[in-house]
Amino acid sequence: MTLDAVLTQIDTDLDASVERLKDLLRIPSISTDPAFKDDCQTAADWLVSDLASFGVEAEKRQTPGHPMVIGHVGTGAPHLMFYGHYDVQPVDPLSLWNRDPFDPAIEETPKGKVIRGRGACDDKGQLMTFMEAFRAWKAVHGSFPCAITFIFEGEEESGSPSLIPFLKEYKDELSQPDMAMICDTGLFNRDTPAITTMLRGLLGEEITIKAADKDLHSGMFGGPAINPIRVLTRIIASLHDETGRITVPGFYDGVPELSNSLKAQWENLGFDAKGFLGDVDLSVPAGEMGRSVLEMIWSRPTCEVNGISGGYTGDGFKTVLPAEATAKISFRLVGTQDPFAIRENFRKVVRDMLPEDCTVEFSDHGASQASVMSTEDPSFEAARLALSDEWPRPAAFIGCGGSIPIAGYFQEYLGLPSMLIGFGNDDDQLHSPNEKYDLRSFHKGIRSWARVLDAIVK
């Protein structure tokens, strides 16, 4: 009965909820770019006042990087800690956006209405689903369902450098909750909600290879002078063999084979691999041979070059022999693969392939292990059933190819298990131009949280 009242309140308030989300989306809180430092403060302030507007006392806490927002409210079991990140990815290439990334709007698309703008899904739209669910709950009940802690981070998209020291500093306070609820993942498909139980880890490495002390004329020096772009691309080309396996020594240590039961469970999900690739104009899976597309994303490690630069890349043509070349390389990790061992082994591969006259510099862009969530706690099944009530199809336990290192940190530094529920779709264009969040995800996401809370609060 009261759940119905909360759901009705959510439906009635939807337009205002969208306006609040649009307010947050207007703040360009790009964490990786120092030019947007003040905007990250503004986004944190916005969250503090939005929490206050439905009765949660919260505060901004500074870190050496961007601030955290922490709030506590309510009493009773279980004590839940809700996590979201208010920072967003850079918008470039800006020319590919069909609108100003920080001037959000509702757009009609063939698949329904969407909220367009940077962060619409990742993670502002998602975090606002639970904020709006609590707002509605408070409006109907006059109180909160249980003890709740809110934690919002502003550095997730740049590797969470301040998070571990912060968790250590506030350990007594932040280890009080029983479980972390993380809203930063996706649906299984448009009609099938999901609880994500496996996340890949991530290792980020940047390498710069230098040769001559300056850029040279490639006619005058081409031949005798070594070209760092050729050295770099030869190294990169050697990182995979012809079957798609990664050649770094020891790389597959700790990579488990899928159990038969998980394999069967995944086969039952009826994943549409053709459609998944077809939606981005691809047709042939390019990962390790002999693996299904779902395995490639959820349970196999990868090595990808995310960016490469050197020499002349502007308009026209320049016969230059560059002095240096750089690549940004990331490894997605699974099982118990050790990011630090992989970093060392990768660096050794690079050094061993380095010819005379070349030097290499490495810079580290974060290292986190994969995580697997146990679903034994009865609240997982309760949440799964609650999600199933809201969406056309029953909820599934799924994997995720992306990385949310904080889930591992909450376990390691606070002893907190995590439950990951989110409402993103594969076509939300996270980290890309024209990011969007379906209005349906936003609306049903808010309703889903009300149902989940109703189901797991004792």
405: contact with ligand BES by CB under 6 A:
yes
**Other C-beta atoms lying within 10 Å of the C-beta of residue 325:** 22
Ramachandran angles phi, psi of 367, nearest 5°? -150, 120
Q: Which of 123, 132, 324, 390 binds Zn ion (CB under 5 A)?
A: 123
132: contact with ligand BES by CB under 6 A:
no
Q: Which of 153, 157, 338, 438 binds ligand BES (CB under 6 A)?
A: 157
CB of 444 to Zn ion, least distance (A): 19
| DSSP letters spanning 307-351 | EEEES--SSS---EE-SEEEEEEEEEE-TT--HHHHHHHHHHHHH
Q: Which of 39, 184, 324, 438 binds Zn ion (CB under 5 A)?
A: 184
Q: Which of 177, 186, 201, 322 binds ligand BES (CB under 6 A)?
A: 186
Q: Which of 402, 408, 417, 445 binds ligand BES (CB under 6 A)?
A: 402
337: contact with ligand BES by CB under 6 A:
no
Q: Which of 378, 379, 367 is nearest to 451 (CA)?
A: 379
End-to-end CA distance of the chain: 16
- Residue 276's H or E segment, with its range, is helix 273-278
The residue among 254 and 366 lying less far from ligand BES, judged by its C-beta, is 366
Total site size for ligand BES, rule CB under 6 A: 17
Q: How far is residue 303 from each of residues 46, 248, 252, 287, 300, measured CA to CA in Å?
A: 38, 10, 12, 10, 10
User: Which partner from the list ligand BES, Zn ion, none does 159 bind, CB cut-off 5 to 8 Å by kind?
Assistant: ligand BES
128: contact with ligand BES by CB under 6 A:
no
Residue recorded with tokens 């981005």 = 280
Strand, helix or coil at 79?
coil
Cβ distance 107 to 98 under 8 Å?
no
CB of 83 to ligand BES, least distance (A): 11
The residue among 7 and 333 lying less far from ligand BES, judged by its C-beta, is 333
The 8-class DSSP code of residue 227 comes to -
132: contact with Zn ion by CB under 5 A:
no
Cβ distance 155 to 162 under 8 Å?
yes
CB of 308 to ligand BES, least distance (A): 18
Residue recorded with tokens 């995979």 = 240
299: contact with ligand BES by CB under 6 A:
no
Binding site for Zn ion (CB under 5 A): 122-123, 184
Binding site for ligand BES (CB under 6 A): 122-123, 156-157, 159, 184-186, 202, 366, 400, 402-405, 424, 430
